[in-house]
Amino acid sequence: MSSKSTRSRVKDPTLAPSGHEKIDWAARHSPVLNAIRDRYLADGTFDGLRVAVSLAVEAKTAYLAAVLAEAGAEVSLASPGPFFVQDDVAAALAERGVTVHASSASPQEDSDAELLAALDVEPDVVIDDRAGLARLLHTERRDLLPNVRGVSEETTSGVAKFAAMHAEGVLETPAIAANDARCKHLFDNRYGTGQSTLTAIMHNTNLMLGGKRLVVLGYGWCGKGIARYAAGLGARVTVCEVDPVKGLEAYADGHDVLPALDAAEMGEVFITATGSCDVLSREHFSRMRDGAILANAGGVDVEIDVEGLADAASEQRRVRGANVEEFVMQDGRRLDLIGGGRVVNITAGDGHPVEIMDLTFSVQALCAHHLANRRITEPGVHLLPAEIDDRVAAIKLEAVGMGVDGLSDEQREFLASWRE
C-alpha cells in the first residue's frame, strides 16, 4: 500500500477488495486508455507533476486516476458530492497510490471542503467536473493559480461555467472543453447517457418502458441519446425544447414535440437533460398524473425543483430501496422521484458503460497530457485539437478490429482546390 493512501479520507478502507474487482473490470474493458497509457503517458511528462481531479468516484474514474498515478503523477481525487461516491472504489483507489477525499457518508455541505482538500496537492493540472475545482481556485485558493497549467472540463454545464468566467474576464487559466471533443460528447453524452439513464430508472423501479409515454426535456446530445434508447425500448417519446430548431430535429427523428406544461398532463416518465434550473417545477407537478416517475439526467442538480415538490406534497417517503422517493400531493396523486433529482445514472446506478468512459477518459488523459506539456498557455476556453480526437477514434477502431480509409494525394488536392 502506498504511503499516500494514509492521507486519504474514505468511509471504510476494508471495502477495498470489491473496489479492486470493479477497477480491474474497468481496466480490462478500456483498450483505448490502455493504449494511450502505453503510447503517450509513459513518456515522462507526468513524472513529479501534481494532478487534482473532481469526478464521480466509481470504477472508470478510479482507473483514470490510477493510470495517471502509474504515469508518475501525484493524484488527488475528490467527488462533487457524497451521492457520487462508491465507497469500495474509493478505498481501493487509496490503496493504489491516489489520495482520495470521498465518502458517501459525508454531508452534502462538506463537498467544497473535500474539493479544497484535493487542491491541497497544489496541482499543476486539474481535471474538473462542473467547474467545481476551478471555482474554488478562483475564489478561495487563488494562491494556487500561478502554478496551474490548465484545467480540463468533463461536463456540458462545466464548459458553460468556464465560458461565463471567460466572458467576465475572470478566468485565469487555460481550460480545455474536454466535453466538446467529438470522442466525448458524441458518445458519452449520447450513447452513454442514453443507456445508463434508462438502465438506472428500470433497475430502481423494476418497471418496463415499452408502451409508456416518456417525456425528454432537452434535446441536446444527452436528450437525443435518451430519446433514441427509449424509443428502441418501445416507449412513446415526447420531447420538450426551448430551441425551435432542436424541436424540429426531434420531430424529424420521429418524436412528438410539445411545450412542457402540455407534456406534463400526459407523460408517465419524465427525464430532464438540459443543464438548466427549474425545468420541472410546481406548475408541472400540479398537472402530472398519479404514478408519474421523475428523473434527472442533466449535469446540474436543480433541473427538477425538488424543494418545490416537497413543499407541494402532504407526505414524502421511500417506497423502493434507497433511490425511489414518493411524494403524495394534496389531492392524493403520487409522484415518484428517482435518485433525489441528482444525475440519475450515477446516484442511482453505475454510470456510463465502461466502453463509453474508455473514450471519455482517453480524451481526458490526453487533455491532461496536452496541458502538462504547456501546449496551451493562454487563459480562456479551448477545444481539444482535432488530431487528438482522431487519434482516440482510430485507436478504438483498431481495438475492435476495424478501420477507415485515408485520402489519396489526388483527393486531398481536389478537396483543397476551387478550380476544376
Q: Is the same domain home to 270 and 318?
A: yes
Q: Is the same domain home to 121 and 198?
A: no
Q: Is the same domain home to 253 and 145?
A: no
Helices (H) and strands (E) in the chain, counts: 18, 15
Q: What pLDDT is stored for residue 3 in this prediction? A: 39
Range of the domain at 300: 193-341
Contacts of 282 (CB under 8 A, 6+ apart): 305, 308, 309, 311, 312
**Cell numbers for 187:** 458518445
In a domain, 346, yes or no: no
Q: What Å distances lie between residue 237 and 199, 211, 270, 308, 339, CA to CA? A: 17, 10, 10, 26, 22
Q: Is 190 helix (H, G, I), strand (E, B) or coil?
A: helix
Interior CA angle at 211 toward 208 and 216, to 5°? 85
Q: Is the same domain home to 244 and 311?
A: yes
Regarding pTM above 0.85, the answer is yes
- Count of domains for the chain: 2
CATH number at residue 299: 3.40.50.720
Q: How confident is the model at residue 299 (pLDDT cuts 50, 70, 90)?
A: confident
Give the model confidence (pLDDT) of 134-179 as tens digits.
Answer: 999 999 999 999 999 999 999 999 999 999 999 999 999 999 999 9
Give the model confidence (pLDDT) of 184-243 as tens digits.
Answer: 999 999 999 999 999 999 999 999 999 999 999 999 999 999 999 999 999 999 999 999
Distance of alpha carbon 62 from alpha carbon 50, whole angstroms:
16
Percent of the chain with pLDDT over 70: 98
Q: What pLDDT is stored for residue 4 in this prediction? A: 44
